[in-house]
Chains A and B, each alone.
Chain A
């Protein structure tokens, strides 16, 4: 005999498993610290690439100015200035990534908890 409640619960759980449940499982299989650390490493790589692209375009844009002042400019001060900007850029991006990863992890864990609770309910229905 079909149990309507059980079928509904199983359908809902199967839908979750096939949809966003997959993403949540991928997130929660890490410890929170590890997940955030991986996110931050990726963020540093992306921020470095992005900063490099912007810097490259900036130098290309001002190429003739750089060539004209090549021997007069204070290279050390220029590099220092770029490094400070890079640190700010990367720092802000890493902070945003940290917040996003933390929120994502918390949401995933909360939803997976609900899923496992439903699993227990389902098991009880069979017992």
Chain B
């Protein structure tokens, strides 16, 4: 455990020291993966399906605010769908605009969740999202998770019906109806949106309870709740979920949750202190749980020789013989030779 704590502290120090490079790098990586995923899943516009363009846009995202990833991701998706069918693109634009106008303008910082949720759906691990957002976010994160689910299923419905909407240009209304009906009648989307919203709020409430091991309880309860809601919802609506996928996803959610807990809420419940005191107006019942920390090793570096620069500076200042003398004294003291 001590070694792990030491590694954690080293990682924290490293991140705080080089955050000016690390944050843009991660933004770049996230944008790159997101755009490559969009190109591989949609990819109807040949011009955009180009690694050079993806690289340039990802580089731009690395120094722009996080919301830029969502903006470029949306633009890429809409451009691809426009190439497939302008009418279907209209539906997608309306969905994206509604998400922005009704929700995202309040909390632009939550845009990251809307980008990451569809990515995790593509990687078949979406059950991690509500547990993680409940641990690191607030109750409003439930809405972000729901928006992420809607974005994923909107794009998913388009790719599923791509063959039907691309061919027949005479039936424009039919294409729009097909997409809207597939989206509104998507039982998987409804069940997952409801489950994720409930789980996010439940995890958030439990982790804030004044009980021991609240984070661990919250993530396990969240994973179990997720499993139950999705299974029961799937059975009731006949949406067809894979039990193994939900189970593995829930286990992974707990593992990821434990990693986050290790970095954000690592406390030692065995050393909990309960104190009680009063002032003129109140009685105070205080429970203090110490953080798990290790003392930074006190390393003392003793120079046993002069640096090269000092060495040259002295050499420049002093005549050759004096320098030789001093050099001898400094580097080969009698007792060492």
Residues of A within 8 A of B (CB): 42, 46-47, 49-50, 53-54, 56-57, 60-61, 63-64, 93, 100
Contact = CB atoms under 8 A, between A and B. Distances in A.
A44 to B, nearest CB: 12
A38 B98 CA distance: 20
A93 B105 CA distance: 13
A57 B180 contact: yes
B97 A53 contact: yes
Contact of B101 (A46, A56, A57, A61): A46
Contacts of B177: 61
Nearest to A48: B101
Interface string B89-103: 011001001100110
A14 to B, nearest CB: 15
A53 B94 contact: yes
A50 B180 contact: no
15 contacts: A46-B101, A46-B105, A50-B97, A50-B102, A53-B97, A53-B98, A54-B94, A54-B98, A57-B90, A57-B91, A57-B180, A60-B90, A61-B173, A64-B173, A100-B106
Interface size class of B (residues with CB under 8 A): 10 to 19
A94 B105 CA distance: 14
B98 A60 contact: no
B176 A46 contact: no
A64 to B, nearest CB: 6
Nearest to A53: B94
Contacts of A64: 173
Contact of B180 (A61, A93, A100): A61
A49 B176 contact: no
B94 A49 contact: no
**In the A-B complex, the 3 residue pairs with the closest CB atoms:** A46-B101, A50-B101, A53-B94
Contacts of B101: 46-47, 49-50, 53
Contacts of A57: 90-91, 94, 180
Given A46-B105, A49-B101, A50-B98, 5 more contacts: A46-B102, A50-B97, A60-B90, A60-B176, A61-B177
Interface string B101-114: 11001100000000
A60 B90 CA distance: 11
A50 B180 CA distance: 17
Contacts of B98: 50, 53-54
A79 to B, nearest CB: 22
